[in-house]
């Protein structure tokens, strides 16, 4: 992490060292802070800060389901901001402080739109963008500087640290806010009211008929009638020369090339948003003016860039997908067949095991029947035993009679030799000593 931080710091310093000469000769009102970071100290009641934090809790699902332009915004019109830069300090009161951004509202760090009571760097309207997905925090700065260098009408940018009630809230990119006031400062029109500046922030503005509904007049007092007429004119043109009469083609083509240079998918060419269309008073031609450069140089890019090359890329992708999917399906089939074969073998083993269990059960049944027969036999044996004991008792009585008839039997009592006779009274054997005479 330390190595990465050091590398980013070196890149940052290189950008700052070279940016001075790169931007020489340009009309840049941010020039006094091009190599500086502005510190902005915002003061608001704690209750308002808590409300801001609550409204900033936006999930990606909320953005997807309800639309980024339908989210509730935080807005407080009595904020105080102190700007510190180059050893100077300026205080702004009655500042309108508002949440900003659309699809980035679900990021961990949100942006803000600020309207000051007096000018800062020649403007009253500024934007703070966290560029949360850009870990270098350089994309917006580099892109706005490149657009400046190309000579197209474009926003300017620098860096600012934000403090909320003296608590550090992080590093932000400080950018122009494209309002009617910016048009007046940039083009110096004679008209007092700007009525032909349109913000195209909803995806899908492609110059096709009906796509004017993706844009909104920056002047709330006017609708899209003039823009709709322009879209009809574009679709009725048959030649490039006819288009050049109503569009500043050089500016338009520079911006298209610029999108490819910075790797943008989030502007006119692919998504059809994040730009303004302005009808210039001096010649009546329409200008393309782009902004919002956080999703550039690969950041956030999830697909092809679009345009004519996309058809070939899509075909290649289709072939690749078919080849990969077919191989994958064949591999899956082999795996499934192998797995099914293993299952069949296992099932056969289970069947054999079940049949073995059946045989074992039948053997157990036979064993139980044999046990029954044995038990019945044992009962017979018990009967025999009772008969034998009856015989023993008979023999014992005969022996006792013989014991007292020495002359007839020849038996004599001997204590050393023993034999058992049955005792009728105790029904058990007792020890007697006998000797054959």
Least confident of 137-146, 357-366, 374-383: 374-383
Confidence at 390, pLDDT banded by 50, 70, 90: low
Spatial distance between the Cα atoms of 228 and 393, rounded to a whole number of angstroms: 132
Average pLDDT over residues 404-410: 42
Local structure of 117: helix, strand or coil: strand
Looking at per-residue confidence, does 205 or 65 come out higher?
205
pLDDT digits (tens, 9 = 90+) for 65-75: 766 677 889 99
- 3-state DSSP call for residue 70? helix
Taking CA atoms, 362 is separated from 220, 371, 374, in Å, by 93, 14, 18
Question: For the CA atoms of 143, 145, 146, 151, what is the dihedral angle to 10 degrees?
Answer: 130
For residue 45, give the 3-state DSSP assignment: coil
pLDDT tier for residue 401 given thresholds of 50, 70 and 90:
very low
Q: At what angle do helices 139-150 and 249-262 cross, to 10 degrees?
A: 150
* Share above pLDDT 90 across residues of the chain, in percent, rounded to a whole number: 47
Instruction: Name the strand (E) or helix (H) holding 284.
Output: none
State mean pLDDT over 396-422.
Answer: 43
Domain ranges of the chain: 28-177, 185-321, 385-435
| Stretch 155-167: mean pLDDT | 96
For residue 86, report the phi and psi dihedrals to the nearest 5 degrees: 50, 35
Mean pLDDT, the chain, whole residue set: 77
Residue 53 pLDDT: 94
Q: How far is CA 275 from CA 28, 85, 227, 279, 297, in A?
A: 20, 30, 14, 13, 18
Could you tell me the pLDDT band of residue 7, with boundaries at 50, 70 and 90? low
| Secondary structure of residue 103 in the 3-state scheme | helix
- The two tokens of residue 67 are 């639309």
Contact 400, 421 (CB under 8 A): yes
pLDDT at position 195? 96
The 3-class secondary structure across 140-185, one letter per residue, is: HHHHHHHHHHHCCCCCCEEEEEEEECCEEEEEEEEEECCCHHHHHH
What per-residue confidence (pLDDT) applies to 11? 55
Cβ 287 vs Cβ 151: under 8 Å: no
What average pLDDT does this structure show over 127-146? Answer: 92
Does the predicted TM-score (pTM) go above 0.75?
A: no
User: What pLDDT is recorded for position 316?
Assistant: 46
Higher pLDDT, residue 113 or 29? 113
CA 239, 242, 244, 246 dihedral sign is negative
Whether 349 has a pLDDT exceeding 80, the answer reads no
Q: What is the pLDDT of residues 295-336, one digit of tens each?
A: 889 887 654 444 433 444 444 455 445 545 555 555 555 555
> What pLDDT shows up at residue 379?
54
C-alpha to C-alpha distances, 117 to 93, 194, 250, 418, nearest whole angstrom = 6, 20, 37, 134
Give the integer Cα–Cα distance in Å for 121 and 114: 14
d(CA 73, CA 55) in angstroms, rounded, equals 7
Q: What is the mean pLDDT of residues 102-110?
A: 82
Which DSSP helix (H) or strand (E) runs through 204?
A: none
DSSP 110: -
Is the per-residue pLDDT at 437 higher than 70? no
* SS3 at position 113: strand
The total of other beta-carbon atoms located within 10 Å of residue 320's CB is 10
């Amino acid at each position: 992490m330390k190595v990465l931080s050091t590398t980013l710091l070196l890149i940052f310093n290189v950008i700052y060292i070279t940016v001075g000469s790169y931007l020489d000769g340009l009309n840049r009102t941010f020039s006094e802070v091009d190599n500086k970071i502005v510190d902005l100290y915002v003061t608001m009641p704690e209750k308002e800060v808590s409300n801001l934090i609550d409204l900033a809790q936006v999930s990606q699902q909320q953005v997807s389901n309800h639309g980024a332009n339908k989210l509730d915004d935080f807005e407080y019109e009595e904020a105080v901001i102190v700007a510190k830069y180059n050893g100077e300090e300026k205080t702004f009161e009655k500042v309108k402080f508002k949440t900003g951004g659309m699809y980035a509202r679900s990021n961990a760090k949100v942006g803000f739109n600020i309207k000051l009571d007096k000018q800062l760097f020649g403007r009253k309207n500024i934007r703070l963008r966290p560029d949360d997905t850009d870990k270098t925090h350089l994309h917006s700065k580099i892109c706005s500087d490149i657009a400046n260098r190309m000579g197209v009408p474009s926003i300017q940018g620098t860096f600012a640290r934000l403090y909320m009630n003296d608590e550090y809230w992080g590093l932000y990119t400080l950018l122009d806010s494209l309002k009617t006031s910016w048009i007046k400062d940039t083009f110096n029109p004679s008209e007092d009211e700007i009525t032909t500046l349109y913000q195209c922030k909803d995806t899908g503005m492609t110059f096709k008929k009906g796509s004017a509904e993706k844009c909104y007049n920056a002047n709330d007092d006017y609708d899209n009638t003039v823009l709709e007429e322009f879209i009809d004119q574009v679709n009725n043109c048959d030649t490039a020369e006819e288009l050049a009469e109503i569009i500043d083609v050089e500016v338009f083509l520079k911006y298209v090339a610029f999108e490819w240079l910075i790797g943008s998918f989030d502007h006119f060419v692919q998504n059809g948003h994040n730009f303004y269309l302005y009808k210039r008073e001096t010649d009546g031609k329409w200008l393309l003016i782009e902004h919002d450069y956080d999703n550039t140089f690969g950041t956030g890019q999830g697909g092809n860039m679009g345009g004519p090359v996309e058809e070939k890329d899509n075909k290649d992708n289709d072939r690749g997908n078919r080849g990969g999917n077919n191989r994958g399906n064949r591999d899956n089939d082999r795996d499934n067949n192998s797995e099914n074969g293993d299952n069949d073998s296992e099932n056969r083993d289970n069947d054999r095991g079940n049949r073995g269990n059946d045989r074992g059960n039948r053997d157990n049944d036979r064993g139980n029947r044999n046990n029954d027969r044995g038990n019945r036999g044992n009962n017979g044996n018990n009967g025999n035993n009772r008969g034998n004991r009856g015989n023993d008792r008979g023999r014992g009585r005969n022996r006792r009679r013989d014991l007292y008839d020495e002359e007839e039997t020849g038996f004599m009592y001997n204590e050393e030799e023993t034999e058992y006779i049955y005792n009728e009274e105790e029904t058990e054997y007792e020890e007697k000593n006998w000797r054959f005479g």
